[in-house]
Structure 1
Amino acid sequence: MRALKIVGVILLILVLIPLIMVSFFGGSVAKAVVRSVNKNLQTEISIGEYDVGFLSTFPNLSVNLLDVQVEGSDGSDLLIAEKVSCLLDLGSLFGKVRVEEIVVEDGLLQLMVDVDGNSNYQLTGYTPVGEEVPDNPDAEAMEFAVADARLKGVEVVYRNAQLEVDLAGTINRLSFSGDFGNDNYLMSTEGSLDIFYVDQSGERFLHEQEVQLSAETKIDNVNNGYTFAPLLMTAGELELKVVGDLQSTQDGLVTDLRVESQSGSLEDVLALIPPAYAGGLNELETRGELTLTSDISGAWTQRAYPRFDGRLTFTNGRVGSPRMNVGVRDLNLKAVFTYLDGARGGMQTFAIEELTGMFRNQPFELALKVDDLNDPQIDFSANGAFALGTLPALMGYDAITDGEGYVEVDNLRLKGRYEDMLRPRRMGNVSASGRLTFDDGEITVNDRELNFPSGTLELNDNEMVLTDFAFSGPGTEISFTGKATNLIPVLFADSLNTNDAELDFEARLTGESIDLDELLSLAGPTEEEEELAEAAGKTDSLRAKTMARRTQITDLLRGRFDAQVDNWNYGEIEGEDFKGQLFFEPRKLDVTGITQSMEGELKVDGTVYFAELQRVEGRVRAKAIDVNEFFRQSENFSQEVLVDDNLEGTMDARIFIQAYFDEVGAFDYEKLRVLADLDIKDGELNNFGMLENFAFALKAGDLDRVRFTRLQNFFEITEQTIYIPTMFVQSSALNLELSGSHTFNNYLDYFIKVNAGQAIANKIKRHDRNLDMLPSRRNGFFNLYYTVEGPLETFTVENDKRAVKNDFRRSEFRKERIRKELERYFSEPIELLEAPAENEDIAEE
C-alpha cells in the first residue's frame, strides 16, 4: 500500500506541476508562440484571443489562437483565420517553443508571387530566387519547427504574376507533415480541394472541379527544388500519377515530369479543356478504355512553355449527353502531343490521328493535325454522317435543345495557317474543299422546330456555293441558292469581330411564307432564361444581351438577297406576293420591295440599323389600301379615340418613319417620329364616340354612320403626340374644319369649326338613308367654334372662337413644313387636294 501511495503521489506531482505551469505561465507560452512566428515571418501576426490546454492533449500542450491575421511580406493579407490550433511539446514550458502540429480552420489563405518570382509568404532571412544563400554560422537555431500542419475549410487564392497563373478554391482538408526545420526533408501531403478555377494567361483550364491529392515530395530548400515521388491527383474518375522534378528559378520554373493515367473517362479529360474552347464537350458522358501518358520538360517562364510529348487513346467508347438524343458507339480516338526539334528551336504539335465512330449505324471519321501551337498550321479532314442531335452538346448554346437527322459530309478538308483563316484578306493562302448535304435534318431552337429537308453546301477554297438549301420553321418555309465568300473567317470570328470578318454573299431567297416575329425569336432568350431573369430582376440585362447577340450576327454580313415570298407577317401586319431585295452591310439592313397588303399595295424602302441603340428608318407608299385594315394591323397606333372599327374607306399614303429602340431592345416611344400624307376616299365613320358632342346638330341616325367624300391631310408624330394640321371634312352629317393633337397617353387637344347653320338645317330634314354629302360649305349663316381638351375619360368641350382660329393659322405652318419634308424624303413633288368650290359660302369674320 505504501508503494502505491508513493506512485500515486509521484503521478499526481507529474500532473499537477504542468497544470500549475499552464495556469501561471500559459499566457506566456501563447505569446511565445506568436513571438516565434513573428521572428520567422517578415511581418506581424495578430490575434484576438487565445487559450491554453493540457489535459485533453497530454502529454502535449494545446494553444488555440482566435481571430488570427497574418500580413504578407508584400503588405497583403497572407492569412485570415477564425482559429489556429497549435500542439506543443511539453518542454515549451521550460525553453524553446517546439510546435508538433498546427491546424488552421475557417479562413482565407492568399499566396502571391510577383513578376520577379518573390512571394508574399517569405520567412525571415529569406533569400530572393536566383541569389546565393549567405553563410551565417552565428545564426541562432530556429525555435519554431512544425512537424505536422493541417488546413480545414480554408479558402485559397493563388496568383503568380510571373507565370500568369490564377487559382481560386476551397481547401476542404489538407495535411502536411515533415521535418520542416531541415534544408532537405520528405513532405507528405494528403487532402481534397474544391477548385473554382485555374487560369493561365487568361485561359481557364479547370472550372468547378473537386480534386483529391496525395503526395510524397522531396524538398530541397537550398536549391528551391521539389521532387514528386509520386504525386497522385484524382479529378472525377481520372487518376493522374506525376513523378519528376520542379525547380524554382529567377525566371520561373524548370520542369522534368512524367504524367500517367490508366483509369478514368474521356469526359474527365475534356473537363480540363478551357470552357471557352470546349463548348458543350464538358457535358459529354463517356464509357471506354482510356490511357494517357505525357512527358513535360523544359523551362516555364513568361516567354516560354515546357515541351509536351504524350499520347491519349480511347477505345471501344460510347458517348452520350443529357442534351443530345443521339449516342455515339464504337468510338476510337488516338491523339498525340509531340515536340519537334528544329533549326529555330523546335515547335509543339498536336494531332488527332484517328477519331472514328458510329451515329445510329452511320459511320463517321475525322482527323486533325496542328503544327506549332505558337503559330498553328491546321490540317483538318472529315467524312461521314454527322448527327444533328449532337449540336446541343457540341455547340454549348442553351437555346438548341434537340436535333434529328444527319448532315452528310463528303471529303471535307481545311488546310492552312490559323492566322490566315481569321483574316479575309489572307484566305488566299488557305485551301478548303468538300460538300455538305442536308437530308431531313431538324433542330429545336428556343422550343421551335426548324427543319432542313434538303440542300447542299460546297466549299472551294474561299468560296461557298449553297444550292436549294431549304429551311422551314413556325410560319416560315423558304429556300436559298447563292454564293458567298469568307465563310471560314466568319465562323472563327471572335465576339468583337476584331479581324473585320464579313460574309460577302449574293443569293436568291424564295418561299411560301416568312414569319418575321418567329425568326427574330430564334436569336432571343430561352423561356428558362426569361424566367430566371424575371425572378432575379434582370430582365433588362437579358434583353440587352439579346440585342448584342443580334448585333454580333449582323456585324458579319455583307451581301444581297433577291427575295420573292408568297406570304409574310410582322406582328399584326400581313402581306402577300413580296418581291424585293435585302441588302446587308455590317450592322445595317436595307429593304426595298413591293407587296400586296391591306387589300391594296405597299412599296417599302427602309433601313434597319443594328447597333447598341437599334433604329429603323423607312419610307412606305400605300396605294388603295383598306383603311380599316390599316388601323387594325397598325394596332390603332396605340390610341383609343379613333380605332379600326370606326373607319371604312380606301386610302393612299406616303409615310416616313423613324423608330428607335433602347438599350434593352424595347420600343422607344419618346424618339418615334412619323410624317404622313394620307388621302382617304369614300370613307365612313361608324359609331365614333366624339360625334356625341355635336348631337345638337345631328339627327339620331347621323350618329351611327357618317360618310365623307374625301379626307386628305398631313400628319406628324413626335414627342409621343400625334399632330393634325387644319383640314376640311365634308360629310353626310356636317361639314367641319379641325386641327389639334393627341398624345399617346390619350390627352386630347382639338380645335373644331362647325358650319352650324347648315347642320341645323340638315337636322330639320328627314334622315337621309343614302347618306349623301352635304354641300361643301366651310362657312354658314353662323358657325360654332369648339375646343376639345383633357384626358380621354374626362375631356371638356368649350366654345372658344379665338383659340380655334389661332390654332388654324399655326397649323398651316406645320402642314407646309411636313409637306416639304415629305417631298425631300420621297424625292417627288407633293400637292394638297384643292378644297371643293364653296359656291354658297357666306363669309364670317
Structure 2
Amino acid sequence: MSVDNYKKRDEQKKAQKKRKKGRVKFLFKLIGSLFLISIISLIVIAAIFEKQIAGMVINTLNKQLKTDLQVSEASLSLIWKFPQAAVYLNDAKIDGVGGQEEKLLDVKSISLQCGTLGLLMGDYNFTSISINEGSLFIYSDEKGHVNYDIFKSSAEKTETDESTDLNLSISDATLSNITIHYVDKAAAYDIKVRASSADFAGDFIIDNEINANQHTMTSYAELFSEHITIGETTYMKGTNLAYNGSVDLDLAAEIYSFDNIKLYIEGNQFNMHGSVKKVDKGTEYNLLFDSKKALLGSLMQLIPEQYAATLGQFESYGKLSFNARVNGISSKRIAPIVEVQFGLKDGRITHPNMAGSMKNVNFDVHFTNGNGIDDQTAKLKLIGFQANLNNQPINLSWEMVGLENPTITMGLDGKIPLDAVYGFFGNTVTEGSGWIEIAQLSLNGRLKDMTSMYRIPRVKLNGLVNFNQAHLLVNNVPTNIETGELSLDNNAFNVTNLTFKTAKSDMVFNGDFQNILPVLLSDSLNSQNAKLTFQASLNSQKMDLDELLAIGGGHTAEEIEAAAVEDQDSLKQENFERRAYRTSFLKGTFITNIVELQYGNVLAKNFNGAVEFDKSVMQLKGVKVDAMDGLFELNSKIYFEKEPRLELFLDCNNIDIQEFLAQLDNFGQDVLTAEHLRGRLKSLIKVNLFLDSLGNFKNEDLFVVADVEITNGELINLKMLEGFSSFIKMRDLQHIAFTKLKNQFKIEHGKFILPAMFIQSNALNLVVGGQYSFNHDLDFKIKINAGQVIANKFKRYNPDKTAIKARQQGLFNIYARIMGNLYGDYDYKIGPKHSKKFLDAQLSQELPAITNTLRAEFAKNNNIEASQPTIQPLAQPKEWEDIPEYNGEEGDLEYIDGF
C-alpha cells in the first residue's frame, strides 16, 4: 500500500472520531438539557400545586383529628426526596385532648412522602413520614383519661366531611432527635427518652378499621434514657440504649410477637424473644432474655438511681452469664413472674473509686419477684461471693426477702485494705493505708426496723471490727486510727481504746453507743429522727478543734480560698449546713480530760468536764480549765445551725485581761480591746454571740452582760479620754494606771452600755457612765474630783503611775460630758447640768437594773453541778460621793472650762 493510501486511511479515521465525539457531546447536551428542563418542570409543578396539595394534606389530617394541626409553613418539594415527592409541615404542633398545657406534638418539621408520578397523576398516596427535632408528650391521668385520643371515630365524622383523593397509608416512619415523654399517673410511670435516630417499617394506616390486620414491623432505634421512673424509684438515668429487630403485630387480637430482638444497654447486647398479648384479665407476658457477652456494668444500669452512682460503675471481666424471664398476667392485682439469674466465675471486678481490682471473683445472683401478688415473696440472693482485694480475702453472703419492707440477712468476713477502697468514702478523702479487719459480721432483720429508733431492738447485729494502723487523708488532714476495737452486740456498739491521731491532736475513745444502724441508714432529712446515743470518755494530751472541724467540715479553708470569689460564700454555707446535719444525730455525753486544748486563738490546759450533744447543740457543763494565766469555770451551749450561735457563762478568776480580750477577738467589737487594757480580771460574764451563714460576727445581735473587777490595771491610748487633755496631762491620759476597777456593763443592740465605772488612777479619780456604739458614736458623762485635778495639773508627770489616793475632802467635784463620733466630730462640756442628773439616775436605777439582769441571766444557767455565783450590787464608794457643802442647786456649783 502506497503512502498516499495510508494518508487517506488516517484522514478517514480522524473524521470518524470527530463525528463520534460530536455525537457524544450532543447526547450529553441533550441529557443535560432534559435534566435541567425536568428540574425546572418539577420546581414549576411544585410551585403550581404546592398550596393545593399541602392544603389538602393539612385539611385531611384536621378532618380526622379532634384537635387542630398547626403549622407555620407548608411546602411541596419534588426534588429533595426524588423519586418521592414530599410535603413539608414546618413548626408543626398538635394539642392533646384533656387540657394539658404541654402539647402532644411539637416538632420543627414533619415530611410526608409519596410517589412523584402518582402525585402528577392525581394519586395522593402518602407512604412515608419523617418527624424531626422536637417532642412528643404522652399523658394518662389517674382515671385513665389520655391526651393522645385525638383521632375521630367513624361515628364522630360528620356528613359534611368531604372525601378526598388523599390517602395516608404510612409504611415507613423515621424519627430524628425527638424527645418522648410518657407519663401514666395511675401506673406511676414517668419515662423520658430521646430518640436520636429511629426507623419503623410496616403498615401505619391511620384508619383503625383498615389497620386491623396482621403485619410485621421492623424497627431500629438509638435512644438516650433521661430517666425511667416507676413509683418513687428511678432507673436508667442517663443511659444509652438501642434495639434492633422485628415485631409481628396482630392488631385485631392485640398480640405482639418478638423474635430475636437485640437490645443494647451501654453497648452490651441482650437477646429477647417471646410475646405480649391482651387477655380478659389483663396483659399476658411470655418473654425470655439472655446474653453471653454481658458485662456487670451494663446489668448495674438496671438498678435504681440511688444505687447507680456507686454500684452502676462496677465493671466485670470474665465469664458472666445472664438469663431472665417474664411470664404471666399483669393486671391491677397481679404482676407477671420475673426471674433473673447471673453469675461470674474466676472473674475480675473494677470500679473507678477502687485502686486495683478484685480478683478471682466468684458469685451467683438469683432474683424473683415471687408469686407476683405479694411483694413480700420477692427474693434477691447473692450466693458464694468470694474475692481477693490486694491479696486479702473477702467473703460475703446476702439475702433480701420482700421489696417494700425487705428482711435482710448478711454475713461478711474479710480484711479490707484502705489503700484500695478509700475512694468510696467521698471526695474529701484522698489517701488511705492500713486495714479494717471484719470478723463474723452478721445482720438479720427488716429494713424498716433497721431505720426506726423504736424497732431497732428487733434487729440482730453481731461481729467484731478492728483497726490496724488505719490511715486516711481527709480534707488534707492526716488522720490515723492506730488501734481500736468495735464490738457489735445487736443494738449495742462498744468502743474499746479507739486511738485517733492527727498532726495536732490525739484522742482515746472508750464507751457504749447505740442506734448505729438507724443513723447510717437515715435519709438526707433524717425523717426518722435517728439518734446515736452514747456514754463515753475522751482523753487527750492535745487537741486542736479547728483541725478536727476541718476533718468533718466539708470544704477546707484552702479549698474555699482557691475557689472563685462568687463561689466562696456558698462553700462556707455548705460547711455550716453539713456540720448542723451531722451533729443532729448525736445524743450523749463525753466525760473529757484534755491536757492541752486550742480553738482559734484560745489556748487552754487541763480541760475537765462533761460535753453533751443533743439536737445539734453541744453543751459544756461544769467545765474547769486553766487559760489566759488564770482559772475558768465554763458553762456554754453551741448551736450548730446554718447561722451558728453561742450562749456562754464564764466565771473568771485572776485572768490576764489582755489575753482574755485578744483570744476572744474582743467579742467582735473595737471599743475597748486588748490594746487598751491591762490587769487581772475577776468576773462573771454572760455572752450570747451570733454568726451569719458565712461565719461573720453579727454585731447588732451580740449580747454581753458582765460583773467585772480588774486590779492593778492600766488604760492605754483610750481615744475617748483625749478630750480631757486640756486640763489633764496628756501623758497621764495616754497611760492611766489604776488600783482597782469595779464595774458592771452590758453590750446590746450594737452598743457598749456603761451605767457607771469607778476608777482610782494616777491621773484622777472619776465616775464614768454612758454608751458607745460600734459605729463609734459616743455619749459619756463623767464625775471628777476637781481638787485632785487642780493639784495634779501642775505636778510633774508621774512615770510610776501610782494611783491617787481617793479622798472625800477637797475643793469640789466637777461634771463633764463627751459626745459625738470618736473618729469624726466630738465635743465635751463641763458643768453639772450636763451630767449630774444622768449619773445620779445611773447610780440609783441603771446599776441595780444591770445587777438584776446579771442575776436573771445566771439563773438561766441550769447546770446543777455548777455553783451559783453570788452577784453583789455595785455601789458608789464613799470617797466618790459629793461632799455635803456642795449639794446645793446646780446653778450654785462651779464650772471649769479648762486650764
Structure 2: gaps (5+ residues): 1-22, 155-162, 206-210, 860-868, 888-899
> Structure 2 matches for 1:496-507, cutoff 5 A?
496-507=525-536
Residues 536-564 of structure 1, C-alpha deviation per residue, up to 9 Å, x if partnerless? 94655555544443333233222211111
Tell me what 1:430 maps to.
Answer: 459
Q: CA deviation at 1:436?
A: 0.2
Residue 479, structure 1, aligned to residue 529, structure 2? no
Q: CA deviation at 1:439?
A: 1.1
Secondary structure of the residue aligned to 2:761 is coil
Tell me what 1:808 maps to.
Answer: 839
Question: What is the CA–CA distance in structure 1 between the aligned matches of 2:423 and 2:191, rounded to whole Å?
Answer: 27
1:41 to 65, 88, 105: 65
Residue 822, structure 1, aligned to residue 849, structure 2? no
Tell me what 2:646 maps to.
Answer: 616
Question: What is the CA–CA distance in structure 2 between the aligned matches of 1:518 and 1:455, rounded to whole Å?
Answer: 22
Residue 557, structure 1, aligned to residue 586, structure 2? yes
> Structure 2 matches for 1:131-280, cutoff 5 A?
143-181=167-205, 182-183=211-212, 184-247=214-277, 254-278=284-308, 280=310
Tell me what 1:631 maps to.
Answer: 661
Tell me what 1:681 maps to.
Answer: 711
Q: Would the aligned equivalents of 2:560 and 2:572 in 1 still touch at CA under 8 Å? A: no
Question: What is the CA–CA distance in structure 2 between the aligned matches of 1:219 and 1:528, rounded to whole Å?
Answer: 65
Residue 770, structure 1, aligned to residue 797, structure 2? no
Moved more, 14-23 or 589-598: 14-23
Residues 556-603 of structure 1, C-alpha deviation per residue, up to 9 Å, x if partnerless? 222211111112122212211111112222333321111111111111
Question: What is the CA–CA distance in structure 2 between the aligned matches of 1:558 and 1:283, rounded to whole Å?
Answer: 36
Structure 1 residues 700, 588: closer, same or farther in 2, change over 3 A?
closer
Residue 751, structure 1, aligned to residue 792, structure 2? no
Question: What is the CA–CA distance in structure 2 between the aligned matches of 1:237 and 1:126, rounded to whole Å?
Answer: 43
Moved more, 788-797 or 814-823: 788-797
Paired AA for residue 114 in structure 1: D
Equivalent pairs counted in the alignment come to 833
Q: TM-score, length-normalised on structure 2?
A: 0.85
Structure 1 residues 426, 700: closer, same or farther in 2, change over 3 A?
closer
Secondary structure of the residue aligned to 2:725 is helix
Residue 421, structure 1, aligned to residue 462, structure 2? no
Tell me what 1:82 maps to.
Answer: 108
Structure 1 residues 251, 750: closer, same or farther in 2, change over 3 A?
farther
Paired AA for residue 707 in structure 1: A
Q: Would the aligned equivalents of 1:162 and 1:251 in 2 still touch at CA under 8 Å? A: no
Q: Would the aligned equivalents of 1:607 and 1:617 in 2 still touch at CA under 8 Å? A: yes
Structure 1 residues 687, 532: closer, same or farther in 2, change over 3 A?
closer
Tell me what 2:737 maps to.
Answer: 707
Question: What is the CA–CA distance in structure 2 between the aligned matches of 1:40 and 1:415, rounded to whole Å?
Answer: 61
> Structure 2 matches for 1:507-526, cutoff 5 A?
507-526=536-555
Q: Would the aligned equivalents of 2:376 and 2:403 in 1 still touch at CA under 8 Å? A: no
Tell me what 1:130 maps to.
Answer: none
Structure 1 residues 744, 14: closer, same or farther in 2, change over 3 A?
closer
Tell me what 2:323 maps to.
Answer: 293
Question: What is the CA–CA distance in structure 2 between the aligned matches of 1:346 and 1:586, rounded to whole Å?
Answer: 36
Tell me what 2:340 maps to.
Answer: 310
Paired AA for residue 111 in structure 1: I
1:23 to 43, 47, 70: 47
Paired AA for residue 658 in structure 1: N
Secondary structure of the residue aligned to 2:675 is helix
Q: CA deviation at 1:324?
A: 4.4
Question: What is the CA–CA distance in structure 2 between the aligned matches of 1:173 and 1:467, rounded to whole Å?
Answer: 62
Q: CA deviation at 1:179?
A: 1.6
1:115 to 123, 135, 142: 142
- CA RMSD across the alignment: 3.5
Q: CA deviation at 1:278?
A: 4.1
Question: What is the CA–CA distance in structure 1 between the aligned matches of 2:647 and 2:279, rounded to whole Å?
Answer: 64
Moved more, 81-90 or 403-412: 81-90
Q: CA deviation at 1:157?
A: 1.8
2:398 to 352, 368, 372: 368
Moved more, 19-28 or 78-87: 19-28
Question: What is the CA–CA distance in structure 1 between the aligned matches of 2:803 and 2:493, rounded to whole Å?
Answer: 65
Question: What is the CA–CA distance in structure 2 between the aligned matches of 1:60 and 1:472, rounded to whole Å?
Answer: 79
Q: Taking every aligned residue pair, what percent have the same amino acid on both sides?
A: 28
- Is the radius of gyration larger for structure 1 or structure 2? 2
Q: CA deviation at 1:777?
A: 4.5
Q: CA deviation at 1:730?
A: 0.8
Q: Would the aligned equivalents of 1:735 and 1:778 in 2 still touch at CA under 8 Å? A: no
Paired AA for residue 111 in structure 2: S
Q: Would the aligned equivalents of 2:123 and 2:165 in 1 still touch at CA under 8 Å? A: no
Question: What is the CA–CA distance in structure 2 between the aligned matches of 1:229 and 1:531, rounded to whole Å?
Answer: 58
Q: Would the aligned equivalents of 1:280 and 1:393 in 2 still touch at CA under 8 Å? A: no
Paired AA for residue 871 in structure 2: I
Question: What is the CA–CA distance in structure 2 between the aligned matches of 1:490 and 1:522, rounded to whole Å?
Answer: 19
Secondary structure of the residue aligned to 1:607 is strand
Structure 1 residues 835, 387: closer, same or farther in 2, change over 3 A?
same
Q: Would the aligned equivalents of 1:369 and 1:378 in 2 still touch at CA under 8 Å? A: yes
> Structure 2 matches for 1:383-422, cutoff 5 A?
383-389=413-419, 392-395=422-425, 397-422=426-451
Question: What is the CA–CA distance in structure 2 between the aligned matches of 1:173 and 1:99, rounded to whole Å?
Answer: 21
Q: Would the aligned equivalents of 2:847 and 2:874 in 1 still touch at CA under 8 Å? A: no
Residues 143-188 of structure 1, C-alpha deviation per residue, up to 9 Å, x if partnerless? 3222222222223322122321212343222222212224332222
Q: Would the aligned equivalents of 2:480 and 2:502 in 1 still touch at CA under 8 Å? A: yes
Secondary structure of the residue aligned to 2:796 is coil
Structure 1 residues 481, 300: closer, same or farther in 2, change over 3 A?
farther
Tell me what 2:80 maps to.
Answer: 56
Structure 1: gaps (5+ residues): 128-138
Q: CA deviation at 1:682?
A: 1.0
Structure 1 residues 600, 247: closer, same or farther in 2, change over 3 A?
farther
Question: What is the CA–CA distance in structure 2 between the aligned matches of 1:430 and 1:361, rounded to whole Å?
Answer: 33
Tell me what 1:652 maps to.
Answer: 682
Residues 71-111 of structure 1, C-alpha deviation per residue, up to 9 Å, x if partnerless? 12334301111222222233245556422322222212212
Structure 1 residues 349, 529: closer, same or farther in 2, change over 3 A?
farther
Structure 1 residues 589, 126: closer, same or farther in 2, change over 3 A?
farther
Question: What is the CA–CA distance in structure 2 between the aligned matches of 1:393 and 1:219, rounded to whole Å?
Answer: 50
Residues 777-821 of structure 1, C-alpha deviation per residue, up to 9 Å, x if partnerless? 478535554433333422413215433234324434333222112
Question: What is the CA–CA distance in structure 2 between the aligned matches of 1:227 and 1:360, rounded to whole Å?
Answer: 49
Structure 1 residues 767, 528: closer, same or farther in 2, change over 3 A?
closer
Tell me what 1:134 maps to.
Answer: none
Moved more, 460-469 or 230-239: 230-239
Tell me what 2:617 maps to.
Answer: 588
Q: Would the aligned equivalents of 1:612 and 1:663 in 2 still touch at CA under 8 Å? A: yes
Q: Would the aligned equivalents of 2:361 and 2:385 in 1 still touch at CA under 8 Å? A: yes
Structure 1 residues 323, 703: closer, same or farther in 2, change over 3 A?
farther
Paired AA for residue 192 in structure 1: E
Residue 838, structure 1, aligned to residue 868, structure 2? no
Paired AA for residue 112 in structure 2: C
Moved more, 280-289 or 614-623: 280-289
Q: CA deviation at 1:11?
A: 9.8
Secondary structure of the residue aligned to 1:378 is strand
Structure 1 residues 640, 527: closer, same or farther in 2, change over 3 A?
closer
Secondary structure of the residue aligned to 1:420 is helix
